[in-house]
Amino acid sequence: MTSSDNFLKSLPYFAALNSEQIERLKKDIVELSFPRGELLFLEGEPCRGLYVVKSGQIRIFKSSPEGREQVLLIAGPGDSFNDVPVFDGGPNPASGSALKPATVYLIPKEKLLSLLADCPTGLNIIRQFARRLRQMTALVEDLSFRNVVSRLAKTLLDLAVVEGGPSPVRRLTQDEMAAMIGTVRDVVGRALRTLEKKGAIKMEGQRIIITDPKILRQLI
């Protein structure tokens, strides 16, 4: 067995394959190298296959409509990613780029599915699981963001004072707001824009003006 055979066999996906099957699998695997910063694939594009990191590091991230990036995973040697779209047939759920110079194995989607060709029921079950996993991931993202919006709404209500009133106006950076509600500043930025779209607040230069506290209260 060569070192690449051993590497493939050490991956959970291929642990049950015999040497002959590993040999056949190897013929279709593509080895790709990426300099630091280069994109492997984009969110929303059709999926080419499953990736396994041979060396280096890959950053898996999602981009918001405003162009901000949220890192979901840093994959190192032996880690695989992009498995959901291989099995549910949907587009790539996130983008991938090389955080450090990296070499990855691309196991083409058709090849991976062909390993299951003689067990169509197994394939159907996996497909259902992959669909569920995609839905659950979207749900978790949505819920955790709503949670942040709700905590931010409460914090803004707690801190807001009337201008020119007896209490001094509080000044907080987005980092400080993030620390108070247990998130990071990018997410605070998104949450502030969401509250503005809902008509609860108005961002005017360095001022966050609470224009409709009722909306904020409903969100808590």
Partner 1 sequence: MTIVIPEVDLGKCNGCGDCVELCPAGIVAVVNGKATIVRPEDCDYCTDCETFCSSGAIKCPFEIILVKDEGS
Give residues in contact with partner 1 (CB under 8 A). Answer: 156, 159-163, 169-176, 185-186, 189, 205-211, 213
Instruction: Please answer whether residues 82 and 47 qualify as being in contact, where contact means their C-beta atoms are separated by less than 8 angstroms.
Output: yes
- Closer of 11 and 159 to partner 1 (Cβ): 159
- Closer of 142 and 176 to partner 1 (Cβ): 176
**Beta pairing, strands 39-41 & 69-75:** unpaired
Shortest Å, Cβ 169 to partner 1? 5
Q: How far apart are CA 191 and CA 188, in angstroms?
A: 5
Give the DSSP letter string of 11-43. Answer: SGGGTT--HHHHHHHHHH-EEEEE-TT-EEE-T
Shortest Å, Cβ 7 to partner 1? 36
- Closer of 53 and 216 to partner 1 (Cβ): 216
Shortest Å, Cβ 194 to partner 1? 16
- Closer of 106 and 192 to partner 1 (Cβ): 192
Shortest Å, Cβ 97 to partner 1? 18
Report the SS3 class of residue 141: helix
β strands within 44-87, DSSP E: 49-63, 69-75, 80-81
**Beta pairing, strands 49-63 & 80-81:** antiparallel
Report the SS3 class of residue 209: strand
Task: Give me 211's structure tokens.
Answer: 């224009």
Question: Which residues lie across from 31 on neighbouring strands?
Answer: 105
Which residue has tokens 């807001």? 160
- Closer of 106 and 153 to partner 1 (Cβ): 153
How far, in whole angstroms, is CA 51 from its chain's centroid? 15
Shortest Å, Cβ 190 to partner 1? 13
Q: How far apart are CA 114 and CA 116, in angstroms?
A: 5
- Closer of 27 and 171 to partner 1 (Cβ): 171
Shortest Å, Cβ 179 to partner 1? 13
